[in-house]
């Protein structure tokens, strides 16, 4: 293992790696030597570009596809990983979305459940499957991608999303307690407002401007700024960090 490639010989699974923050996480882990299992759902072309980018730097990447907002598809995804799921060293549960901004009084149980399946249950089920391989090997790192919304409830129309992310942060801490003694580190990052398709879909330019103004750093963040923190959490430099939810938000919210 070299200093430039600390993840050489390790396999990383990154969900939601076709675009935005996940694509950047997959790339950064690959630049540091990891073989990456790239998960995508609907963005096939963008996922193919992520694979191409990783192979372009001499890295190794394999594509998997699944809708993680439906329980049956999560189970099929886990099955499709085959023997590889027993050898995942780094798991990043990044796939997530608020799916549809919906005022609370219009929120259906169906949408509530889909948001929870995508943002919480997928992380639960994939983590459980991967931990079964990590525990006997007594090593592994898991990073969950939560959200600043978990801290303040999110914007209007995001109650299900912010609730699911808050549960994901709590799950991170519970797992860290249970699996720390097995040599497995589990943490989360909590991005603030990051410049991705997420905001092209769910936020107005005025709202983004307002966030930038309210942020001590004077701007919103980039996917690479979150990916670098995830990579740090996966590294030996973070070997005594356990059960933490690291805020990456330019000072927008200080906790």
Ligand X SMILES: NC(=O)c1ccc[n+]([C@@H]2O[C@H](COP(=O)([O-])OP(=O)(O)OC[C@H]3O[C@@H](n4cnc5c(N)ncnc54)[C@H](OP(=O)(O)O)[C@@H]3O)[C@@H](O)[C@H]2O)c1
Provide the binding-site residues for ligand X, judged by CB under 6 A.
16, 18-22, 40-43, 67-69, 94-97, 118, 145, 147-148, 191, 193-194, 196-199
Task: Tell me the closest approach of the beta carbon of residue 19 to ligand X, in angstroms.
Answer: 4
Contact 71, 117 (CB under 8 A): yes
Compute the distance between CA of residue 70 and CA of residue 20 in angstroms, rounded to an integer.
22
Task: Tell me the closest approach of the beta carbon of residue 21 to ligand X, in angstroms.
Answer: 4
Instruction: Choose, from 7, 27, 41, 161, the residue flagged as catalytic.
Output: 161
Nearer to ligand X, 180 or 210 (CB): 210
Compute the distance between CA of residue 185 and CA of residue 52 in angstroms, rounded to an integer.
30
Task: Tell me the closest approach of the beta carbon of residue 95 to ligand X, in angstroms.
Answer: 4
198 given a catalytic annotation? no
β-pairing, 61-65 vs 90-93, is unpaired
Task: Tell me the closest approach of the beta carbon of residue 16 to ligand X, in angstroms.
Answer: 3
Q: Which long-range contacts (CB under 8 A, 24 or more apart) does 103-110 make?
A: 103/156, 103/157, 104/157, 104/159, 107/159, 107/160
DSSP 157: T
Of the candidates 59, 70, 65, 46, the one whose C-alpha atom is nearest the C-alpha of residue 197 is 46
Nearer to ligand X, 11 or 193 (CB): 193
Nearer to ligand X, 33 or 96 (CB): 96
Nearer to ligand X, 89 or 247 (CB): 247
List residues bridging with 17 in a β-sheet. none
Which residue numbers are catalytic? 161
């Amino acid at each position: 293992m070299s200093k430039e490639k600390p993840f050489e010989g390790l396999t990383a699974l990154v969900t939601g790696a076709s675009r935005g923050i996940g694509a950047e996480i997959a790339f950064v882990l690959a630049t540091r030597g990891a073989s990456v299992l790239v998960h995508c759902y609907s963005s096939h072309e963008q996922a193919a570009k992520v694979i191409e980018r990783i192979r372009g730097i001499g890295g190794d990447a394999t594509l998997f596809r699944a809708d993680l907002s439906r329980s049956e598809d999560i189970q099929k995804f886990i099955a499709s990983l085959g023997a590889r799921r027993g050898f995942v060293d780094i798991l990043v549960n990044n796939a997530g979305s608020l799916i549809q901004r919906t005022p609370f009084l219009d929120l259906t149980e169906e949408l509530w459940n889909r948001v929870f399946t995508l943002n919480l249950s997928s992380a639960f089920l994939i983590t459980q499957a991967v931990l079964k391989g990590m525990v006997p090997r007594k090593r592994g790192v898991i990073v969950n991608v939560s959200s600043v919304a978990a801290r303040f409830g999110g914007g209007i129309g995001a109650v299900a999303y912010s609730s699911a992310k808050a549960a994901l942060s709590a799950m991170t801490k519970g797992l860290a307690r249970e699996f720390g003694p097995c040599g497995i580190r589990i943490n989360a990052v909590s991005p603030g407002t990051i410049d991705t398709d997420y905001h092209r879909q769910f936020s107005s330019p005025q709202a983004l401007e307002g966030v930038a103004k309210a942020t001590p750093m004077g701007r919103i963040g980039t996917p690479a700024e979150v990916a670098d923190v995830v990579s740090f959490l996966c590294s030996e430099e973070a070997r005594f960090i356990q059960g933490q939810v690291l805020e990456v938000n330019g000072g927008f919210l200080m906790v």
